[in-house]
Structure 1
Amino acid sequence: MFTSIGSPEATITIFLDERPIPARAGETVAACLLRAGIAYFRTTPVSGSPRLPYCMIGHCFDCLIEIDGVGSRQTCLVQVRDGMRLRRQRGPAAIAGEHIQ
Protein backbone atom coordinates (compact mmCIF):
# COMPACT_ATOMS: atom_id res chain seq x y z
CA MET A 1 0.00 0.00 0.00
CA PHE A 2 2.78 2.46 0.89
CA THR A 3 6.04 2.93 -0.94
CA SER A 4 9.16 4.72 0.23
CA ILE A 5 10.07 8.10 -1.20
CA GLY A 6 13.70 8.55 -2.15
CA SER A 7 16.47 6.05 -1.63
CA PRO A 8 15.51 2.56 -0.38
CA GLU A 9 18.81 2.42 1.52
CA ALA A 10 20.12 4.58 4.34
CA THR A 11 23.06 6.27 2.67
CA ILE A 12 23.44 9.40 4.84
CA THR A 13 23.75 10.06 8.57
CA ILE A 14 21.95 12.53 10.82
CA PHE A 15 22.59 13.02 14.53
CA LEU A 16 19.99 13.19 17.32
CA ASP A 17 21.50 14.41 20.60
CA GLU A 18 24.90 13.36 19.14
CA ARG A 19 23.66 9.81 18.36
CA PRO A 20 24.26 8.87 14.70
CA ILE A 21 21.13 7.71 12.87
CA PRO A 22 21.16 6.28 9.34
CA ALA A 23 18.86 8.17 7.01
CA ARG A 24 17.47 7.75 3.51
CA ALA A 25 17.84 10.61 1.05
CA GLY A 26 14.44 12.14 0.29
CA GLU A 27 12.71 11.17 3.55
CA THR A 28 11.55 13.58 6.22
CA VAL A 29 13.28 13.91 9.56
CA ALA A 30 10.12 12.59 11.28
CA ALA A 31 9.97 9.47 9.10
CA CYS A 32 13.65 8.78 9.69
CA LEU A 33 13.42 9.15 13.48
CA LEU A 34 10.26 7.05 13.68
CA ARG A 35 11.89 4.33 11.57
CA ALA A 36 14.88 4.42 13.96
CA GLY A 37 12.57 3.76 16.92
CA ILE A 38 13.09 7.09 18.67
CA ALA A 39 10.83 7.11 21.76
CA TYR A 40 9.99 10.85 21.73
CA PHE A 41 10.92 14.05 19.90
CA ARG A 42 10.15 16.69 22.52
CA THR A 43 8.54 17.23 25.90
CA THR A 44 5.64 19.59 26.58
CA PRO A 45 6.31 22.92 28.35
CA VAL A 46 3.76 22.40 31.16
CA SER A 47 3.78 18.72 32.15
CA GLY A 48 6.96 17.48 30.49
CA SER A 49 5.01 14.76 28.64
CA PRO A 50 6.93 13.12 25.80
CA ARG A 51 5.54 13.77 22.31
CA LEU A 52 5.85 12.11 18.90
CA PRO A 53 4.53 13.16 15.49
CA TYR A 54 0.79 12.81 15.18
CA CYS A 55 -0.52 14.15 11.86
CA MET A 56 2.67 14.01 9.70
CA ILE A 57 1.35 16.90 7.56
CA GLY A 58 2.32 19.98 9.59
CA HIS A 59 -0.92 20.69 11.45
CA CYS A 60 -0.40 19.41 15.00
CA PHE A 61 3.11 20.67 15.98
CA ASP A 62 3.82 17.54 18.06
CA CYS A 63 6.95 16.81 16.00
CA LEU A 64 8.87 19.97 16.94
CA ILE A 65 12.61 19.56 17.38
CA GLU A 66 15.75 21.68 17.15
CA ILE A 67 17.43 21.31 13.75
CA ASP A 68 20.94 22.69 13.23
CA GLY A 69 20.49 25.11 16.14
CA VAL A 70 17.03 26.37 15.14
CA GLY A 71 14.26 25.37 17.56
CA SER A 72 10.61 24.52 16.94
CA ARG A 73 11.14 23.02 13.47
CA GLN A 74 8.44 20.67 12.21
CA THR A 75 10.22 17.40 11.47
CA CYS A 76 7.38 16.13 9.30
CA LEU A 77 8.03 18.95 6.81
CA VAL A 78 11.86 18.93 6.68
CA GLN A 79 13.87 16.52 4.53
CA VAL A 80 17.03 14.98 5.97
CA ARG A 81 20.46 16.27 4.94
CA ASP A 82 23.74 14.49 5.56
CA GLY A 83 25.30 15.62 8.85
CA MET A 84 22.12 17.32 10.11
CA ARG A 85 22.27 17.95 13.89
CA LEU A 86 19.06 17.48 15.87
CA ARG A 87 18.28 18.05 19.54
CA ARG A 88 15.13 17.12 21.39
CA GLN A 89 13.26 20.10 22.79
CA ARG A 90 12.65 19.80 26.49
CA GLY A 91 9.92 22.10 27.73
CA PRO A 92 9.49 25.48 26.03
CA ALA A 93 11.56 26.31 22.98
CA ALA A 94 14.48 28.69 23.47
CA ILE A 95 15.98 31.36 21.21
CA ALA A 96 19.45 32.56 22.21
CA GLY A 97 18.93 31.38 25.78
CA GLU A 98 15.47 32.94 26.21
CA HIS A 99 12.45 30.69 26.73
CA ILE A 100 9.38 31.19 24.55
CA GLN A 101 6.15 30.97 26.51
Structure 2
Amino acid sequence: MKRNRLLHNQTDSDPMGTVANLFDVAMVFAVALMVALVSRFNMTEMFSKEDFTMVKNPGKENMEIITKEGQKIKKYTPSEEQESSGKRGKKVGVAYQLESGEIIYVPE
Protein backbone atom coordinates (compact mmCIF):
# COMPACT_ATOMS: atom_id res chain seq x y z
CA MET A 1 0.00 0.00 0.00
CA LYS A 2 2.76 2.41 0.95
CA ARG A 3 4.59 1.79 -2.29
CA ASN A 4 1.41 2.40 -4.35
CA ARG A 5 0.83 5.72 -2.56
CA LEU A 6 4.34 6.86 -3.34
CA LEU A 7 3.95 6.14 -7.05
CA HIS A 8 0.63 8.00 -7.33
CA ASN A 9 1.42 11.21 -5.55
CA GLN A 10 -1.44 13.67 -4.99
CA THR A 11 0.48 16.46 -6.72
CA ASP A 12 0.37 14.70 -10.12
CA SER A 13 -1.47 16.80 -12.65
CA ASP A 14 -4.50 15.64 -14.56
CA PRO A 15 -3.68 15.07 -18.27
CA MET A 16 -7.09 16.44 -19.29
CA GLY A 17 -6.40 19.62 -17.31
CA THR A 18 -4.11 20.78 -20.09
CA VAL A 19 -6.89 20.39 -22.66
CA ALA A 20 -9.22 22.47 -20.48
CA ASN A 21 -6.58 25.19 -20.24
CA LEU A 22 -6.12 25.18 -24.02
CA PHE A 23 -9.89 25.58 -24.44
CA ASP A 24 -9.86 28.58 -22.08
CA VAL A 25 -7.00 30.19 -24.02
CA ALA A 26 -8.83 29.59 -27.32
CA MET A 27 -12.00 31.23 -25.97
CA VAL A 28 -10.08 34.29 -24.77
CA PHE A 29 -8.38 34.53 -28.17
CA ALA A 30 -11.73 34.26 -30.01
CA VAL A 31 -13.33 37.01 -27.90
CA ALA A 32 -10.30 39.26 -28.36
CA LEU A 33 -10.42 38.68 -32.13
CA MET A 34 -14.12 39.57 -32.28
CA VAL A 35 -13.55 42.78 -30.28
CA ALA A 36 -10.64 43.73 -32.55
CA LEU A 37 -12.70 43.16 -35.71
CA VAL A 38 -15.67 45.15 -34.41
CA SER A 39 -13.46 48.08 -33.48
CA ARG A 40 -11.44 47.87 -36.73
CA PHE A 41 -14.50 48.06 -38.97
CA ASN A 42 -16.20 50.74 -36.82
CA MET A 43 -19.19 48.53 -36.07
CA THR A 44 -19.49 49.65 -32.43
CA GLU A 45 -22.76 51.42 -33.30
CA MET A 46 -24.44 48.03 -33.67
CA PHE A 47 -24.06 47.43 -29.93
CA SER A 48 -25.20 50.86 -28.73
CA LYS A 49 -28.77 51.69 -27.71
CA GLU A 50 -28.96 54.67 -30.10
CA ASP A 51 -30.69 54.52 -33.49
CA PHE A 52 -28.49 55.13 -36.54
CA THR A 53 -28.28 54.92 -40.33
CA MET A 54 -25.12 53.85 -42.16
CA VAL A 55 -24.43 53.87 -45.90
CA LYS A 56 -21.89 51.38 -47.25
CA ASN A 57 -20.30 52.05 -50.67
CA PRO A 58 -22.24 55.28 -51.38
CA GLY A 59 -22.97 55.97 -55.05
CA LYS A 60 -21.81 52.57 -56.28
CA GLU A 61 -23.69 49.58 -57.71
CA ASN A 62 -23.35 47.58 -54.48
CA MET A 63 -24.49 50.40 -52.17
CA GLU A 64 -26.26 49.31 -48.97
CA ILE A 65 -28.17 51.31 -46.37
CA ILE A 66 -28.19 49.83 -42.87
CA THR A 67 -30.57 51.27 -40.27
CA LYS A 68 -31.00 50.39 -36.62
CA GLU A 69 -34.24 51.30 -34.89
CA GLY A 70 -34.41 49.99 -31.34
CA GLN A 71 -33.48 46.31 -31.48
CA LYS A 72 -34.26 45.88 -35.21
CA ILE A 73 -31.50 46.14 -37.81
CA LYS A 74 -32.65 46.54 -41.42
CA LYS A 75 -30.52 46.27 -44.54
CA TYR A 76 -31.69 47.94 -47.73
CA THR A 77 -29.96 47.27 -51.04
CA PRO A 78 -31.46 49.54 -53.73
CA SER A 79 -30.75 47.19 -56.66
CA GLU A 80 -32.53 44.25 -55.00
CA GLU A 81 -35.58 46.35 -54.07
CA GLN A 82 -35.87 47.89 -57.53
CA GLU A 83 -35.73 44.56 -59.34
CA SER A 84 -38.31 42.87 -57.13
CA SER A 85 -40.82 45.73 -57.14
CA GLY A 86 -40.30 46.72 -60.79
CA LYS A 87 -39.72 50.36 -59.79
CA ARG A 88 -36.76 52.33 -61.02
CA GLY A 89 -35.30 55.49 -59.57
CA LYS A 90 -32.79 58.14 -60.46
CA LYS A 91 -30.47 60.46 -58.63
CA VAL A 92 -32.11 63.85 -58.16
CA GLY A 93 -29.47 65.70 -56.19
CA VAL A 94 -26.75 65.67 -53.59
CA ALA A 95 -26.90 66.49 -49.87
CA TYR A 96 -23.93 67.96 -48.01
CA GLN A 97 -23.48 68.32 -44.25
CA LEU A 98 -21.52 71.35 -43.10
CA GLU A 99 -19.23 71.41 -40.07
CA SER A 100 -21.98 73.21 -38.13
CA GLY A 101 -24.29 70.22 -38.67
CA GLU A 102 -26.49 71.98 -41.21
CA ILE A 103 -27.49 69.88 -44.23
CA ILE A 104 -27.72 71.48 -47.68
CA TYR A 105 -29.54 69.78 -50.57
CA VAL A 106 -28.35 70.64 -54.09
CA PRO A 107 -30.74 69.46 -56.86
CA GLU A 108 -29.21 68.38 -60.17
Greater strand proportion: 1
Greater helix proportion: 2
Which is greater in Rg?
2
Q: TM-score, normalised by structure 2?
A: 0.22
Q: TM-score, normalised by structure 1?
A: 0.23
